[in-house]
Structure 1
Amino acid sequence: MTTSNTEKLSLRALIALVVGSMVGSGIFALPAAFARATGGFGALIAWLIAGTGMLMLALVFQTLSRRRPDLDAGIYSYAKAGFGEYLGFNSAFGYWAGCCLADVACLILIKSTLGAFFPVFGDGTTPVALVSASILLWAVHWLILRGVREAAFLNTVATIAKIVPISLFIVFVLFGFKADVFALNFWGGEGHELGSLFHQVRSTMLVTVFVFVGIEGASVYSRYAKNRNDVGIATVLGFIGVLCFLVLVTMLSYGVLLRPELGGIRNPSMAGVLEAVVGPWGAVFISVGLLISVLGNYLSWSLLAAEILFAAAKNGTMPAFLARENRNKAPLAALVVSNLLIQIFLIVSPFAEYAFLLALKMTSAMTLVPYLLVAAYGTKLALSGKTYETDSHERTLDLICGAIATLYAAGMIWAGGMKFLLLSAIVYAPGSLLFFLARREQGKPLFNLGEWLLFIVLVIAAFGGAYGLAAGTVTI
């Protein structure tokens, strides 16, 4: 699909896509999520690891946007160019499923927030909550069908609106900060043992990944950019701004309540923290801010989910019907399929003990594989020397960034544990049916030998995960 210059996105709009995708439900749940896992020192280490790893990944995205401008579908196209058709497909499919799960997390948190004022919504998974979430799901569906550029403009407005309550939270909590409380929380209440600290930090890893998911927003929409160089700039600037917000929200909260109280606050836990500082109106203020933020975040994820399916279908990796557009050039078929998957996830969410936390961690687990493949491709490109014929110094720097980003993504997959690998396989394995359809449409061979081995491993892992769920050894 071609786009005229009037339909292209500016640097400001691309930054808003990055920030809007990252700043959403996750940041409002950080105080309690971190307090349940670790103290202030562990949180600092976790953010140092996550910040460094994700910065390297942001720099890889920036490098690839400049060196491979022909790959204009972003995260999925890099995996395909570097590692073949089936891994490219899995990158697209995994990222798409992660976007859908992120939307589920947004919908649950919206209803859980309302549940603090209207008990009928409960924790976000009551029948009333699910029906109202479904209505919202299809209302946004209609909005996006009016056109991607119009939806992107609304996302920019929502991004600005969501930054205001978060900024005011930081200001109020800074004034209410108690150094003695922070000191008591600093070691997490478990002493100085290295093993204990390691366990604490590991417990926060998937949470940190979730709040950074969306860093690739500008890259996914690179085909809409007025200037290709803006893609990398938007990614890095958006990342740095969001990292500052995340660290401040987390660390300042440790100076308000002791860790057991902080960890016991219901979501959105930022509301409980501000209430402890300024009184009941603080909870209402943050809840309103959250609703604005998460609605904007939900819109961002809906745009990304549809775009990745559409781009993969245009490129021949997904079945051709997913490339169908409406008269407003919105990805009609991809959006319908995405929202049907979100609807299914919503229906099964009441069966999860902590539906929001599960959706959050599953989003991280599903998107880590695409991140790993992007980082690995950046490393591979630098190693090969392709496009670096006259830039040996820059090649070395890009190789270092790519290697660190690759190690980080692999480490996060390991930190998540076997449970989330098995649950991810349950989603990945049946998704291969779309790959089968695409290959059949094009009359191409299904797999090469390596791809057959990967598919067999995925199927075995999926059966293992399904058996674990049935036997109760894998819980949701």
Structure 2
Amino acid sequence: MAPTRDSPTRTTVSTFTLSTLVVGSMVGAGVFSLPGTFAEQTGVTGSALAWLLAGTGTMMLALVFHHLAQRRPDLDAGVYSYARAGFGRYLGFLSALGYWASACAGNVFYWVFIMSTIGAVVPALGDGSTPLAVALSSAGLWVFFVLVRRGTREAAAVNRIVSVAKVLPIVVFIALCVFAFDPAVFAANLTADGGIPLFEQVRGTLLLTVFAFIGVEGASSFSRHARRRRDVGRATVWGFLSVLAIFLSVTIVSFGVLPRDEIARLQQPSMAGVLAEVVGPWGAGFIGVALIVAVLGAYLSWTLMAAEVLLVAARDGDLPPAFARTNDKDVPVGALTMSTMLVQVLLLVVLVANNAFDVALNLTSALALIPYFLTAAYGLRVALADRADATQRRARRIADTVVALLATGYTAFLLYAAGGEYVLLAMLILVPGTALFVIARRAARRRVFAAWEWLVFAAALTGAVAAVTMIATGALTV
């Protein structure tokens, strides 16, 4: 029987395509700014230590996703399903809503960043917030909507191509910097001047890296399309290791081209200035084109993942049924439309906002980190339960517990590093959004909150009230 709108054929993708979703969501605009942002804080030694610490922490989280993909293959959409399975429907809903809102806010940044990059050549685009820039961003937004709506497999295939296309220029950058590598310059950049202790340098640099790996859950969010459930865990680890190698290489090889203080003074994206030093002015243009391709790829990845999370939450009854609608190409059109409309509204807000866009970027991180923490905590619960299972090997049980414990501690630290004020601002999105959860639960004629979930809602409401109070008194600027 031919597939219908109510029972579409489930599309599947390969391990490589799942890996490119991880790479595509993590490698965006940030990688092109790494040389300058790191050089402002530290030298080679501090950079290497910061990536080692951040990479280790995120690797623990990636291994938690890997473990959960094996232990709970019945759960789809990663961060939402894991939070729901571990801590109930309402926290699962908050995880889904926060993740979705984070993706939408991040996608606004991508469009503004693209337009501001082109604005260096086309002055009418300015910093990406002019009427022409917003109009072009809006046109691009709906072009991507049409692309994704045509089919999940087609969109994932485009993402695979774009992910490869945006990584290749970065590999070329690394290779050219290695070719032009000056050992004397590199040795002079081993430590930073100024007498700042190495620990302080690393701590300052670490705050630059803690959000660099957002997107590590890409394969898990798209898990219902995996050909085999074990592919999800493999894709997560492979994708993460690939991105870590890219970030570390871009940062370190730059220190062999220019003195640290000169790298720190480069205009962003600083990769352009470094490559221009190696090959001449055309290097800056080359990086500019690569940056636009990278940002578009990250945008496509986040669009796919945001829609998937809403779809699964709606199918579980935690969002209204409209979000559960798919077309005959297995595309969650209800969730995709909602995501696109929110990004469109936020693009219009950019026209009149002063610093609201900067706040949105910080909110992107805070909203994404809440689902990460809940996922790591659920991984710890599963690992502790496995310790009582005599059929599991003792060494494996201990290793899984240690990994999950480290991941939970690391994600808790990330929430702290994000700043308490942005966690409070996140409540201004999550608390009103709870209305969707109430509508869905009442439509199903189910109890809205369990007894302890009222406490969670009360805590979130208190945070939202505190945020409003701080904004009203000027203690928090939006």
TM-score of the pair, normalised by structure 1: 0.92
Cα distance, 1:12–1:117 mapped onto 2, change above 3 Å: same
Report the equivalent of 1:64. Answer: 68
Q: Which residue, out of 1, 12, 23, partners 2:27?
A: 23
Counterpart residue number, 1:361: 362
The residue type paired with residue 322 of structure 1 is F
Measure, in 2, the Cα distance between the counterparts of 1:8 and 1:387. 35
Give me the whole-angstrom Cα distance separating, in 1, the residues matched to 2:428 and 2:37.
Answer: 26
Q: 1:188-207 residue pairs with structure 2 within 5 A?
A: 188-193=192-197, 196-197=200-201, 199-204=203-208
Equivalent AA in structure 2 for residue 238 of structure 1 = G
In structure 1, distance between residues paired with 2:300 and 2:453: 34
Structure 1 residues 438 and 42, CA, compared in 2 at 3 Å: closer, same or farther? farther
- With over 3 angstroms needed to count, the CA separation of the structure-2 counterparts of 1:101 and 1:37, relative to structure 1, is farther
Residue 459 to residue 261, structure 1, CA distance change in 2 (3 Å): farther
Structure 2 residue corresponding to 1:435, chosen from 434, 437, 451: 437
1:281 aligns with 2:282: yes
The amino acid of 1:113's aligned partner reads: T
The alpha carbon displacement at 1:218 in A equals 1.1
Aligned-partner Cα distance in 2 for 1:274–1:155: 26
Flag the 1:267–1:194 CA change in 2: closer, same or farther, 3 A. closer
CA distance in 2 between partners of 1:186 and 1:473 (Å): 40
- Structure 1: how far apart are the matches of 2:44 and 2:467? 35
What residue number does 1:337 align with? 338
1:326 aligns with 2:327: yes
Q: CA deviation at 1:260?
A: 4.7
CA distance in 2, matches of 1:264, 1:365: 29
In the other structure, the counterpart of 1:99 is 103
> SS where residue 127 of structure 2 aligns?
coil
Aligned residue identity for 2:336: L
Give CA-to-partner distance per residue, 1:378-422, whole Å, 9 cap, x none. 110111228944113211111111001000000111112223212
Determine the structure 1 residue equivalent to 2:477.
475
Partner SS, residue 298 of structure 2: helix
Tell me which residue corresponds to 1:298. Answer: 299
Whether 1:165 and 2:202 are equivalent positions in the alignment is no
Select between 59-68 and 254-263 the one with higher mean Cα deviation. Answer: 254-263
Cα distance in 1 for partners of 2:175, 2:83 equals 42
Mapped partners of 1:122, 1:35: distance in 2: 27
Answering whether residue 181 of structure 2 is matched by residue 177 of structure 1, we say yes
Structure 2 residue aligned with 1:127: 131
Partner of 2:3: none
Aligned partners of 1:382 and 1:388 also within 8 Å: no
Supply the AA of the counterpart residue of 1:443.
R
Which residue of the partner structure matches residue 156 of structure 2? 152
Task: Tell me the equivalent position of 2:391.
Answer: 390
Identity %: 46
* Contact 1:26/1:210 (8 A) holds in 2: no
Structure 1 residue 353, shift from structure 2 partner: 4.0
Query: Could you say if the C-alpha distance between residues 177 and 431 of structure 1 is closer, same or farther in structure 2, counting changes exceeding 3 Å?
Result: farther
Question: Are the equivalent residues in 2 in contact too, given 1:319–1:435 (CA < 8 A)?
Answer: yes
The Cα offsets for residues 237-267 of structure 1, whole Å up to 9 and x where unpaired, read as 1111110000111222234344454344343
Partner of 2:53: 49
Would the aligned equivalents of 2:367 and 2:426 in 1 still touch at CA under 8 Å?
yes
* Greater alpha carbon shift after TM alignment, 266-275 vs 252-261: 252-261
Equivalent position to 2:415, from 410, 413, 416: 413
> Counterpart of 1:58 in 2: which secondary structure?
helix
Q: How far apart, in 1, do the equivalents of 2:247 and 2:322 lie?
A: 40
- Whether contact under 8 Å (2:8, 2:327) holds in the other structure is no
Alpha-carbon displacement from aligned partner over 1:118-152 (angstroms, at most 9, x marks no partner): 12222222222122111111110111110111100
User: CA 1:198–1:267 in 2, change beyond 3 Å: closer, same or farther?
Assistant: closer
Q: Distance in 2 between matches of 1:196 and 1:111?
A: 36
Give the aligned residue type for 1:81.
Answer: A
Contact 2:8 2:329 in 1 (8 A): no
Contact 2:151 2:329 in 1 (8 A): yes
The whole-number CA distance in structure 1 between the counterparts of 2:258 and 2:348 is 36
Given that residues 319 and 436 in structure 2 are in contact (C-alpha distance below 8 angstroms), is that contact kept between their aligned partners in structure 1?
yes
CA distance in 2, matches of 1:419, 1:262: 32
CA contact (8 A) 2:49 2:202 kept: no
Question: Conserved in 2, the CA contact under 8 Å of 1:110 and 1:124?
Answer: yes
Counterparts of 2:356 and 2:287, CA distance in 1: 22
- Distance change in 2, residues 1:119/1:262 (3 Å): farther
Distance 1:466 1:195, change over 3 A: farther
Unaligned runs of 5+ in 2: 1-5
8 Å contact 2:80–2:92 — kept in the other structure? yes
Q: Residues 382, 114 of structure 1: CA spacing in aligned structure 2 closer, same or farther, 3 A cutoff? A: same
Go from structure 1 to structure 2 and tell me whether the alpha carbon gap of 1:473 and 1:267 turns closer, same or farther (over 3 Å shift). farther
Distance 2:308 2:464 in 1: 27
1:67 CA displacement: 0.8
Q: For residue 144 of structure 2, what is the aligned residue in structure 1?
A: 140
1:81 pairs with 76, 81, 85, which one?
Answer: 85
1:172-204 deviations in whole A, cap 9, x for unaligned?
222333445445544443324266336513532
Contact 2:94 2:430 in 1 (8 A): yes
Change (3 A) 1:366 1:179: farther
TM-aligned CA distance change 1:182 to 1:349, over 3 Å: farther
2-side partners of 1:58 and 1:293: how far apart? 22
Match of 1:244 in 2: 245
2:426 paired with 1:424: yes
Is residue 113–residue 268 contact of structure 1 (8 Å, CA) maintained in 2? no
Q: Is the 8 A contact 1:210 1:363 kept in 2?
A: no
Q: 1:21 to 1:252 in 2, by over 3 A?
A: same
With the length of structure 2 as denominator, give the TM-score of the two structures: 0.92
**Aligned mates of 1:278, 1:471 — CA distance in 2:** 53
* In structure 1, distance between residues paired with 2:320 and 2:136: 32
Q: 2:119 aligns with which of 115, 121, 135?
A: 115
Q: Secondary structure of 1:69's partner?
A: coil
SS of match in other structure, 2:212 = helix
Once superposed, what is the RMSD of the aligned Cα atoms? 2.3
